Structure formats: C-alpha cells, structure tokens
Amino acid sequence: MQKADHKKDNQLLDSNNVNSSTFKQSKLYFIQYILLGCWFGLLLTKAEVISWFRIQEMFRLQSFHMYGIIGSAVIVGMISVWTIKKLNIKTFNGEAVVIPRKEFNKGQIYGGLLFGAGWAITGACPGPLYVLIGSGASIIFITLLSAIAGTWFYGLIRSKLPH
C-alpha cells in the first residue's frame, strides 16, 4: 500500500497528461509536425546552434552567439506564456491550455548542473541531437544513446530520489 501511495505522490509532481487532448487524430495529422520538425532542424543548422565549435565558444565565454540565441528563445517563451495566460488562448481544438505551477526543489539545481556538464562534454544539447545525426554526424548516436540511457536510469531511480 505504501508503494502505491509513493507512486501517486510522484505522479502529482509530474505535469504528465495535464494538456492531453481528448480528440483522436489520424496518422496523417502528424505529418505537419514532422514537417515542422524538419524546418526547425534546418533553422538550427543555419543558425549554427548545432555547431560543436559554437557551443564550446559559449562555455568558454568567447562568443555571444549562443547566449543571444538562447536569450531570445527565453524572451519569446516568456511572452508566449504570458500571452496564453492573459488572453486565455485555447488549442486548435478549443481545449484550455493548462500551465501548472512548479515548486522549486534543490534537485533542479543538481539536474541542471548534470545537464550542463553533459552539454559541455559532448558539445550537443538534447534537442539538436537529431539534427546532428540527420546532418551526417553519426558519432552523435553515442550521445543520443547515452541521453536515452540517462533518462531510463532516472526513471528507474526516481522514486528513491528526494523530490
């Protein structure tokens, strides 16, 4: 019984399925997301966001390029979330968008440090991994498999961590 309660507590920490749609979509519906992902990958490539040299410049504080891109993404995200909340914008299907409040905990600091260390060591953020693989950098498969293994390991030990 105690294990079931612990699992329920962990689910309360998640925002999984908060914005799950009740509408069923056809498989063709998802092609637009594949095309959007391809366009976004092209954008990341042209902006040199996937460049190992650009990422190393950022971590060595030698260039503003990546900080400018990340900073502008944060600003666009802030404006977008504010607009969604202020204007009560709905999804294309008319469903409400729910953005749950998150409580701060020290695990976020440790996770951020671990994430940043992995990013600095590999020279690749998780998002552009697929773009790097698509552009022919097949060695990034090792980084992708490591990211998947890390995610799996976190899921395995998550219930034992202090949240």
10 assigned to some structural domain: no
The stretch 121-146 carries a mean pLDDT of: 84
Tally of domains in the chain: 2
6 assigned to some structural domain: no
3-state secondary structure of 90: strand
Longest dimension (CA), the chain: 55
15 assigned to some structural domain: no
The whole domain housing 154 covers 105-163
Cα–Cα dist 11/8, whole Å: 5
Question: What mean pLDDT value characterizes the chain?
Answer: 81
- Predicted model pTM: 0.64
Helices (H) and strands (E) in the chain, counts: 7, 0
Q: Which amino acid is at 20?
A: S
CB neighbours of 7 closer than 8 A, spacing ≥ 6?
A: 159
Among 65, 80, 101, residue at a domain's last position: 101
1 assigned to some structural domain: no
158 assigned to some structural domain: yes
The stretch 118-135 carries a mean pLDDT of: 81
Instruction: Check: CB of residue 54 under 8 Å from CB of residue 66.
Output: yes
137 assigned to some structural domain: yes
The stretch 135-144 carries a mean pLDDT of: 87
In this structure, the answer to whether residues 116 and 162 fall within a common structural domain is: yes
pLDDT 10s digits, 68-99: 999 999 999 999 999 999 998 888 778 888 88
In this structure, the answer to whether residues 121 and 142 fall within a common structural domain is: yes
In this structure, the answer to whether residues 119 and 84 fall within a common structural domain is: no
Q: What is the pLDDT of residue 5?
A: 52
128 assigned to some structural domain: yes
Q: What is the pLDDT of residue 30?
A: 83
pLDDT 10s digits, 1-35: 445 554 555 445 555 556 666 667 777 778 888 89
What are phi and psi for residue 32, nearest 5 degrees? -60, -35
